[in-house]
């Protein structure tokens, strides 16, 4: 299973964190620190896998953002890499030409998409279409109640 | 702080058009690009909901001051940092105060404001600031019946509420309502929240509800998927709370579901459950094979959106292959051949030209391939598949993708442990050595080191050790210590001549002295002391090494110790006369730390004993103020005591007090323990004793003890001990007494006796006459603690005394327990080790049968030929002998059989039997009450090559010289057995009043395994 997924920028700024097991805040902070230093120190064209304690770390850089996945030792590294890629595809499909700012401004959306895709450290739905459809469906639900409060946001 | 691109784009977002620039990233260039682009401006008319954008933008602005001349691609260089951190904190504190006042205010907030503020809090938290309020509002939101509010409420709870919050009851209430709502969207939100939080309270509240949702006929597919994974999460955190049983079958049948998403989620769930209770989910094997077969043979378009870059359902395929790894190869022949076909198809597909140039295509395809190879290795039963897998990995070793090279090295490590493919793996040695030299990526080089270590055996040890040593000179600091340990272990394990061993370790200290831990140099000293053939060489070598102008302190330690013990062996040469030796050591004295100085002082007093001629010089040194008045108490005390000792004691007393060190007792290599600790117990599959015994060339633990030469067995023989019998099978259910590894220990004393998902139990044992000592190593394979750990041994016949153990085993740690065993009289039942501990709240019970058999108390006895014949003939009564005919499972190798017999405990008598193909042995079983002599004879029958051939009866068999002395009935048994079975025979005779102990002989007979072609005969007389 996957233990965590982290998104951070080239400067080491954390953009998204998802933990699939319960951990204390201290442990989380330590992992975040270790991951950013380890991954950012990697040379270009290195392989995308690392061993860290009893976990396999699979990471990939997309433009300015690093996607970093910690999986248990019996997991398949290559597919973990493709989980990252599928997530990026999903973000891209939703935001259209996704960039780091989309994830900052719409962090809650990034979480919702991730929740549709992964759950409890396992992949829930591998079909891009189905995930997109359910995200769209929830957007439709949101639209229903936009009218009530949207104006407030713009001027408030 | 925010990165600069972010800010630039923020500031420019109003002026730039959509669809910005892609920063060229080579790694991302294949396929989709993740672009650096302005985000969408939250403008009116945009239908996507934006919450708290203003706030986020303000925060971004206070982080960095903008230089308007900077261009997008020039990156950060031209920006100046503003008072970023303080500004950010200031802004946030202001906002927090604002939100707090809103929440506390008299005016009730409407849903939207609540949502906005909760969302802001979440954002602030994700920036790394602490949030200690707002939970109540979040719980209110999740109880709302507006979807958006509910969603934000759940998100806040998932991210921010840790599992022991008081709010859980309120949250549970909201979840309960949503689960009952029958609205699939709400149900999904609720299930996600349970899976995200995964606390025990939630498990208690919903563990019985979720299986119903999962198997209900009218549940929507997406809800089924969520329910399956939610259940999986609860099962991991609180396995005791999740009821199994009535829904097991229905869950297994989800593998047949139409919807591949449901199948994927269900496979994850079943795999986890099957790892814990393989028996309950046995039926999933045939369904999984059927499903897998349909996927691999499908045309790539059949599966529609589940086809990923032209690869059919890669995630599901991998999950199915993983599920199959919970089980041994299917027994049903049809099923088995169908699975083999699937695996062959996957291997064939790997050879086909790629359907796409995209890296995603090859990644997905190879992911399935690697998982298939993992299954092939797990089954370890199809030599052709194993060799094909090995060839495939061999191709990857030189692939241009670094990822594939890395994975190929990693997979080969496990492949090296199979007896079928060990040799095939060895053919890639040059490539791997090359990888060590040329790979640019340290993690790949590390894998290469691991693989070299795994593929090492006696035939290539010298080369591999030499390569690792030369790599060590340039190795990354992070992995040096591990390489040092590995070199030390390999050098010791495969040392044929000990001069090589000593050279290697001294080289190790020279090259990487800082990384040589205490264990390594302790070990070299233990070995030198226990082997007198290497002592002179060791003394000479350290003496030479110490002459280097700068030598590592570890070398001084080894040098001091060895010269102190064996300096006399080289004192004859004027170039290394006692005085020269002393001066050489003393020249290093002042550069060393206190412990080393203390060691050197002991070496000096030993010198006084060895070389009376330097007594005066050394006494002067000891008498000097820098010693006698040293500020360090330990050094001062040693100097004073040694000086007094050298003055008052007579030569005889000195010689007794300062006698050469006695040999060290046999013990586990502490280096190995250290490496295991470093890597974690589960991380050393290649070093498992079971692997060595399987691969058919060496027995690791035996050679460790053998290096100390405490066994009478010659080292080459002991290293050939092979347990041809051992097979890897799934761990037994925990509550039953585990016996599966028991037979492996008939002829050896060390290895892994038990292993499951959580725990590995290794044994090292030694026996002297009727006493035995067993070291039990409990390895925690998980990353969490085992609590309330306790163990006890129950035995009906033996006196077993176990030392108390610590009740906690840390995650990844290993704990040792010592058992002292006394054999009172002959016995047949082995003791049982009962273990109890708590893991993740659940009580675990494990019972393991400990391999203490009667033959462990054998003492080998040497005997002349004539003597042997005479005794053999005397023991002719029916109750004095036991014999057995058996089929050989494997070709009978002389060295192997010798090693087995030695491992069995008796002495192997050379030149006793006129036929050199036969083996005879003799030993005495020691019990507290009595001692019983025992003779043994093993006759390989090379004539019986065909299974049903009419082998000659033993009486006329020329290889059976004792025929005349045996009773007729015995001969009758022999010939009848051979007539019926065609090709196997084992015999044993016994004088003991009870006959059950003769089982011992049958134990031996049954593990000299037959293969239907070669016939062996074993006779054991007592």
- Cross-chain residue pair B27–A122, CB shorter than 8 Å: no
Measured between CA atoms, how close is A72 to chain B, in angstroms? 11
Q: Give the residue from A21, A47, A68 with the most B CB atoms within 10 Å of its CB, the best one to mutate.
A: A47
Helices (H), B397-428: 402-415, 422-426
Q: Which of B328, B446, B457, B458 is nearest to B381 (CA)?
A: B328
Mean pLDDT, rounded, for B153-167: 77
pLDDT, tens only, B897-941: 777 777 778 888 877 777 777 778 888 888 887 777 777 777 776
Residues of chain B contacting residue A54, judged by C-beta atoms under 8 Å apart: 680, 682-683, 783, 812
The beta-strand segments (E) located in B173-294 are none
Among B360-374, B821-835, B912-926, the range scoring the smallest mean pLDDT is B912-926
Among B131-145, B311-325, B673-687, B772-786, the range scoring the smallest mean pLDDT is B673-687
pLDDT over 70 (residue B532): yes
Q: SS3 letters for B890-916?
A: CCCCHHHHHHHHHHHCCEECCCCCCCC
In sequence order, the 6+-apart residues with CB closer than 8 A to the CB of B994 are B826
Contact predicate B2/B123, CB 8 Å? no
Q: Rounded to an integer, what distance in angstroms lies between the CA atom of residue A121 and that of residue A4?
A: 8
- Cross-chain residue pair A138–B39, CB shorter than 8 Å: no
State both tokens at A14.
């954390």
SS3 assignment, position B21: coil
Q: Is B238 on the interface with A (CB under 8 A)?
A: no
B317: exposed, middle or buried (C-beta count within 10 Å: 0-12, 13-18, 19+)?
Answer: buried
Residue B7: CA count within 13 A, CB half-sphere: 25
Q: Is B37 on the interface with A (CB under 8 A)?
A: yes
Contact predicate B883/B974, CB 8 Å? yes
Among A68-82, B645-659, B971-985, the range scoring the smallest mean pLDDT is B971-985
Question: Where on the phi/psi map is residue B982: left (φ > 0), alpha (ψ -120 to 50), or beta?
Answer: left
pLDDT band at B699 (very low <50, low <70, confident <90, very high): very low
pLDDT at B325 (0 to 100):
94
* More reliable by pLDDT, B488 or A138: B488
B832 assigned binding-site residue: no
pLDDT over 50 (residue B39): no
Q: Is B41 on the interface with A (CB under 8 A)?
A: no
Cα nearest neighbour of A142 on chain B: B148
Contact predicate B261/A130, CB 8 Å? yes
Contact predicate B613/B578, CB 8 Å? yes
Pick the CATH number of A2-155 from 3.30.530.20, 1.10.10.60, 3.30.450.60, 3.30.2010.10: 3.30.450.60
SS3 assignment, position B349: helix
Contact predicate B1009/B977, CB 8 Å? no
Mean pLDDT, rounded, for B566-577: 90
- Cross-chain residue pair A79–B366, CB shorter than 8 Å: no
pLDDT, tens only, B817-827: 888 888 888 77
Q: Is B303 on the interface with A (CB under 8 A)?
A: no
pLDDT at B44 (0 to 100):
39
The H or E element spanning position A77 is helix A77-95
Mean pLDDT, rounded, for B178-187: 88
B176 assigned binding-site residue: no
Q: Is B531 on the interface with A (CB under 8 A)?
A: no
Residues of chain A contacting residue B50, judged by C-beta atoms under 8 Å apart: 105-106, 153
Mean pLDDT of the residues in chain B: 76
Partner-chain residue, chosen from B5, B110, B159, that has the shortest CB–CB distance to A64: B5
Mean pLDDT, rounded, for B571-584: 91
Q: Rounded to an integer, what distance in angstroms lies between the CA atom of residue B608 and that of residue B605?
A: 5
B390 assigned binding-site residue: no
pLDDT band at B42 (very low <50, low <70, confident <90, very high): very low
pLDDT at B686 (0 to 100):
37
Residue B243: φ, ψ to 5°? -70, 135
Count residue pairs from A and B with Cβ separation < 8 A.
280
Contact predicate B489/B675, CB 8 Å? yes
B112 assigned binding-site residue: yes
Contact predicate B604/B582, CB 8 Å? yes
pLDDT, tens only, B295-324: 998 875 677 788 899 898 999 999 999 999
What distance lies between CA B723 and its chain's CA centroid?
Answer: 20
Residues of chain A contacting residue B53, judged by C-beta atoms under 8 Å apart: 105, 153
- Cross-chain residue pair B441–A97, CB shorter than 8 Å: no
Cα nearest neighbour of B22 on chain A: A63
Mean pLDDT, rounded, for B569-592: 91
Residue B398: CA count within 13 A, CB half-sphere: 9
pLDDT over 90 (residue B371): yes
pLDDT, tens only, B710-735: 333 333 332 222 222 223 333 333 35
Q: For the stretch B753-788, what's the b/e string if a residue is b when 16 or more beta carbons lie within 10 angstroms of its beta carbon?
A: bbbbebbbbbbbbbbeebebebbbbbbbbbbebbee
> Helices (H), strands (E): how many in chain B?
42, 20
pLDDT at B288 (0 to 100):
95
Q: Rounded to an integer, what distance in angstroms lies between the CA atom of residue B469 and that of residue B465?
A: 6
B884 assigned binding-site residue: no
Residues of chain B contacting residue A10, judged by C-beta atoms under 8 Å apart: 3
pLDDT at B668 (0 to 100):
62
Q: Is the dihedral of CA B271, B273, B278, B279 positive or negative?
A: negative
In sequence order, the 6+-apart residues with CB closer than 8 A to the CB of B391 are B424
pLDDT over 90 (residue B46): no
Mean pLDDT, rounded, for B254-260: 91
In sequence order, the 6+-apart residues with CB closer than 8 A to the CB of B863 are B871, B907, B909, B912, B922
Contact predicate B364/A79, CB 8 Å? yes
Q: Is the dihedral of CA B327, B333, B335, B340 positive or negative?
A: positive
Angle at Cα B707 formed by Cα B705 and Cα B709, nearest 5°?
Answer: 80
The H or E element spanning position A15 is strand A14-19
Measured between CA atoms, how close is A151 to chain B, in angstroms? 8
> Would strands B64-65 and B858-860 be described as parallel, antiparallel, or unpaired?
unpaired
Mean pLDDT, rounded, for B356-372: 93
pLDDT at B959 (0 to 100):
33
Q: In chain A, where are the structural domains located? A: 2-155
- Cross-chain residue pair B5–A44, CB shorter than 8 Å: no
pLDDT, tens only, B744-778: 787 778 888 888 888 889 888 888 888 888 889 89
Partner-chain residue, chosen from A10, A123, A144, that has the shortest CB–CB distance to B3: A10
Contact predicate B843/B735, CB 8 Å? no
Q: Is B443 on the interface with A (CB under 8 A)?
A: yes
B102 assigned binding-site residue: yes
- Cross-chain residue pair A97–B18, CB shorter than 8 Å: yes
Q: Give the residue from B21, B24, B39, B442 with the most A CB atoms within 10 Å of its CB, the best one to mutate.
A: B39
Could you tell me how many residues make up chain B?
1022
Q: Give the residue from B14, B23, B35 with the most A CB atoms within 10 Å of its CB, the best one to mutate.
A: B35
B257: exposed, middle or buried (C-beta count within 10 Å: 0-12, 13-18, 19+)?
Answer: middle
Indicate the pTM of the whole model. 0.66
Could you tell me how many residues make up chain A?
156
Residues 396-425 of chain B whose Cβ lies under 8 A from any Cβ of chain A? 402-403, 405-407
Provide the β-strand partners of residue B799: B822
The beta-strand segments (E) located in B50-162 are 64-65, 80-81
Among B43-52, B87-96, B670-679, B884-893, the range scoring the smallest mean pLDDT is B43-52
- Cross-chain residue pair B48–A139, CB shorter than 8 Å: yes
DSSP state letter for B839: E
Angle at Cα B610 formed by Cα B606 and Cα B612, nearest 5°?
Answer: 105
B117 assigned binding-site residue: yes
Q: Rounded to an integer, what distance in angstroms lies between the CA atom of residue B461 and that of residue B497?
A: 12
Angle at Cα A63 formed by Cα A57 and Cα A66, nearest 5°?
Answer: 20
> Helices (H), strands (E): how many in chain A?
5, 7
Q: DSSP of B372-387, one letter per residue?
A: HHHHHHHH---HHHHH
Distance in angstroms between the alpha carbons of the first and the last residue of chain A: 43
pLDDT, tens only, B451-479: 999 999 989 999 999 999 999 988 888 88
Measured between CA atoms, how close is B23 to chain A, in angstroms? 6
Mean pLDDT, rounded, for B335-346: 94
Q: Rounded to an integer, what distance in angstroms lies between the CA atom of residue B430 and that of residue A78?
A: 26
Residues of chain A contacting residue B446, judged by C-beta atoms under 8 Å apart: 51
Q: Is B164 on the interface with A (CB under 8 A)?
A: no
Contact predicate B205/B176, CB 8 Å? yes
Residues 445-504 of chain B whose Cβ lies under 8 A from any Cβ of chain A? 446
Q: Is B46 on the interface with A (CB under 8 A)?
A: no
Mean pLDDT, rounded, for B888-905: 71
pLDDT over 60 (residue B943): no
> Would strands B307-308 and B798-802 be described as parallel, antiparallel, or unpaired?
unpaired
Measured between CA atoms, how close is B403 to chain A, in angstroms? 5
Q: What percent of chain B has pLDDT over 70?
A: 75
- Cross-chain residue pair A126–B403, CB shorter than 8 Å: no
pLDDT at B867 (0 to 100):
79
Q: Is B153 on the interface with A (CB under 8 A)?
A: no
pLDDT at B324 (0 to 100):
95
Contact predicate B628/B603, CB 8 Å? no
- Cross-chain residue pair A100–B198, CB shorter than 8 Å: no
Residues of chain B contacting residue A64, judged by C-beta atoms under 8 Å apart: 3, 5, 23, 36
- Cross-chain residue pair A99–B9, CB shorter than 8 Å: yes
Mean pLDDT, rounded, for B372-388: 90
Q: Rounded to an integer, what distance in angstroms lies between the CA atom of residue B734 and that of residue B228?
A: 25
pLDDT over 60 (residue B704): no
Cα nearest neighbour of B682 on chain A: A54
What distance lies between CA B878 and its chain's CA centroid?
Answer: 49
Q: Rounded to an integer, what distance in angstroms lies between the CA atom of residue B753 and that of residue B743?
A: 10
Contact predicate B730/B328, CB 8 Å? yes
- Cross-chain residue pair A74–B199, CB shorter than 8 Å: no
pLDDT over 90 (residue A67): yes
Measured between CA atoms, how close is A48 to chain B, in angstroms? 6
Q: What percent of chain B has pLDDT over 90?
A: 26
Residues of chain A contacting residue B10, judged by C-beta atoms under 8 Å apart: 101
- Cross-chain residue pair B318–A17, CB shorter than 8 Å: no
Q: Give the residue from B1, B14, B19, B49 with the most A CB atoms within 10 Å of its CB, the best one to mutate.
A: B49
> Would strands B986-989 and B1015-1021 be described as parallel, antiparallel, or unpaired?
parallel
């Amino acid at each position: 299973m996957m233990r965590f997924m982290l998104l951070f920028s080239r400067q080491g700024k954390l953009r998204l964190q998802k933990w699939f097991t319960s951990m204390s805040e201290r442990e989380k902070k330590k992992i975040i620190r270790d991951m950013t230093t380890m991954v950012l120190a990697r040379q270009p064209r290195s392989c995308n896998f690392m061993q860290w304690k009893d976990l396999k770390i699979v990471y990939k850089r997309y433009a300015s953002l690093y996607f970093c996945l910690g999986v248990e030792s019996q997991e398949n590294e290559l597919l973990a890499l493709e989980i990252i890629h599928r997530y990026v595809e999903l973000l891209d499909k939703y935001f259209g030409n996704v960039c780091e700012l989309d994830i900052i401004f719409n962090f809650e959306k990034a979480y919702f998409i991730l929740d549709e895709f992964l759950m409890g450290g396992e992949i829930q739905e591998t079909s891009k279409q189905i995930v997109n459809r359910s995200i769209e469906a929830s957007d439709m639900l949101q639209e229903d109640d936009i009218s009530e409060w949207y104006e407030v946001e713009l001027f408030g | 702080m925010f990165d600069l691109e972010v800010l630039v784009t923020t500031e420019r977002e109003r002026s730039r058009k959509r669809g910005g620039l892609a920063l060229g990233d080579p790694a991302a260039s294949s396929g989709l690009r993740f672009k650096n682009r302005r985000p969408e401006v939250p403008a009116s008319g945009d239908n996507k909901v934006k919450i708290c954008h203003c706030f986020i933008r303000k925060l971004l602005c206070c982080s960095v001051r903008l230089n308007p001349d900077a261009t997008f691609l020039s990156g950060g260089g031209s920006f100046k940092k503003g008072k970023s951190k303080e500004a950010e904190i200031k802004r946030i504190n202001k906002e927090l105060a604002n939100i707090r006042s809103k929440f506390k205010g008299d005016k009730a907030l409407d849903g939207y404001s609540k949502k906005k503020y909760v969302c802001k809090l979440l954002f602030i938290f994700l920036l790394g600031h602490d949030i200690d309020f707002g939970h109540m509002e979040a719980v209110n939101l999740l109880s709302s019946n507006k979807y958006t509010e509910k969603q934000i409420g759940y998100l806040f709870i998932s991210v921010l509420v840790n599992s022991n919050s008081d709010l859980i009851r309120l949250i549970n209430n909201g979840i309960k309502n949503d689960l009952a709502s029958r609205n699939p969207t709400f149900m999904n939100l609720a299930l996600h929240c349970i899976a995200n939080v995964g606390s025990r309270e939630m498990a208690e509240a919903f563990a019985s509800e979720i299986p119903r949702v999962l198997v209900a006929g009218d549940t929507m597919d997406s809800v089924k998927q969520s329910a399956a994974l939610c259940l999986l999460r609860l099962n991991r955190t609180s396995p005791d709370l999740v009821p199994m049983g009535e829904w097991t079958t229905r869950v297994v049948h989800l593998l047949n579901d139409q919807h591949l998403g449901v199948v994927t989620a269900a496979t994850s769930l079943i795999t986890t459950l099957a790892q814990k209770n393989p028996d309950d989910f046995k039926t999933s094997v045939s369904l999984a094979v059927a499903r897998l077969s349909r996927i691999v043979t499908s045309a790539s378009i059949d599966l529609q959106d589940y086809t990923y870059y032209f690869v059919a359902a890669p995630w599901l395929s991998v999950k199915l292959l993983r599920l199959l790894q919970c089980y041994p190869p299917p027994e049903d022949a049809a099923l088995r051949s169908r699975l083999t076909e699937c695996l062959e198809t996957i291997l064939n597909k790997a050879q086909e030209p790629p359907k796409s140039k995209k890296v995603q295509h090859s990644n997905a395809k190879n992911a399935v391939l690697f998982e298939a190879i993992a299954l092939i290795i797990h089954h370890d039963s199809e030599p052709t598949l194993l060799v094909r897998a090995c060839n495939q990995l061999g191709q990857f070793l030189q692939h241009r993708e670094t990822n594939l090279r890395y994975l190929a090295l990693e997979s080969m490590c496990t492949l090296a442990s199979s007896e079928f493919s060990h040799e095939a793996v060895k053919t890639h040695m040059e490539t791997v050595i090359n990888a060590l030299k040329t790979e640019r990526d340290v993690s790949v080089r590390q894998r290469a080191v691991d693989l070299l270590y795994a593929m090492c055996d006696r035939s290539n040890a010298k080369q591999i050790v030499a390569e690792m040593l030369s790599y060590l000179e340039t190795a990354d600091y992070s992995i040096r210590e591990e390489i040092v340990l590995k070199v030390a272990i390999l050098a010791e394990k495969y040392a044929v001549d000990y001069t090589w061993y000593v050279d290697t370790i001294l080289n190790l200290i020279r090259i990487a002295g800082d990384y040589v831990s205490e264990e390594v140099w302790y070990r070299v000293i233990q070995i030198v002391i226990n082997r007198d053939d290497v002592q002179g060489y060791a003394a000479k070598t350290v003496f030479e090494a110490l002459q280097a102008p700068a030598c590592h302190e570890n070398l001084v330690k080894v040098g001091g110790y060895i010269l102190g013990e064996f300096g006399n062996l080289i004192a004859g040469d004027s170039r290394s006369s006692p005085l020269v030796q002393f001066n050489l050591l003393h020249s290093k004295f002042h550069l060393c730390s206190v412990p080393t100085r203390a060691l050197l002082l002991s070496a000096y007093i030993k010198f006084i004993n060895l070389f009376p001629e330097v007594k005066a010089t050394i006494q002067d040194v000891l008498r000097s103020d820098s010693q006698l008045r040293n500020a360090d108490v330990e050094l001062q005390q040693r100097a004073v005591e040694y000086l007094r000792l050298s003055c008052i004691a007579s030569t005889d007393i000195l010689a007794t007090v300062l006698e050469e060190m006695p040999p060290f007792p046999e013990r586990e290599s502490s280096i190995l323990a250290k490496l295991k600790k470093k890597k974690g117990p589960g991380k050393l599959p290649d070093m498992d004793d079971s692997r060595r015994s399987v691969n058919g060339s060496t027995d690791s633990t035996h050679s460790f003890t053998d290096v100390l030469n405490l066994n009478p067995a010659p080292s080459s023989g002991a290293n050939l001990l092979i347990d041809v019998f051992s097979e890897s099978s799934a761990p037994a259910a925990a509550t039953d007494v585990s016996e599966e590894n028991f037979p492996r220990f008939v002829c050896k004393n060390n290895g892994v006796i038990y292993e499951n998902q959580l725990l590995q139990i290794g044994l090292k044992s030694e026996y002297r006459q009727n006493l035995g000592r067993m070291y039990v190593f409990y390895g925690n394979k998980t990353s969490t603690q085992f609590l309330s750990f306790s163990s006890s041994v129950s035995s009906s016949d033996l006196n077993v005394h176990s030392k108390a153990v610590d009740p906690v085993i840390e995650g990844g740690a290993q704990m040792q327990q010592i058992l002292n065993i006394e054999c009172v009289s002959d016995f047949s039942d082995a003791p049982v080790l009962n273990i109890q501990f708590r893991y993740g709240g659940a009580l675990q019970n494990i019972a393991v049968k400990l391999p203490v058999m009667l033959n462990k108390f054998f003492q080998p006895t040497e005997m002349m030929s004539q003597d042997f014949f005479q005794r053999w003939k005397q023991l002719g009564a029916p109750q004095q002998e036991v014999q057995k005919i058996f089929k050989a499972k494997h070709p009978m190798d002389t060295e192997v059989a010798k090693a087995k017999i030695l491992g069995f405990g008796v002495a192997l008598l050379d030149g006793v039997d006129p036929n050199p193909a036969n083996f005879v042995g003799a030993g005495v079983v020691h019990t507290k009450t009595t001692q019983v002599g025992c003779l043994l004879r093993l006759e390989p029958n090379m004539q019986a090559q065909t299974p049903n051939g009419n082998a000659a009866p033993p009486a006329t068999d020329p290889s059976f010289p004792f025929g005349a002395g045996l009773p007729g009935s015995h001969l009758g048994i022999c010939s009848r057995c051979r007539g019926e079975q065609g090709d196997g025979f084992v015999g044993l005779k016994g004088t003991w009043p009870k006959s059950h102990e003769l089982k011992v002989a049958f134990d031996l007979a049954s593990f000299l395994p037959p293969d239907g072609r070669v016939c062996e005969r074993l006779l054991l007389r007592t």
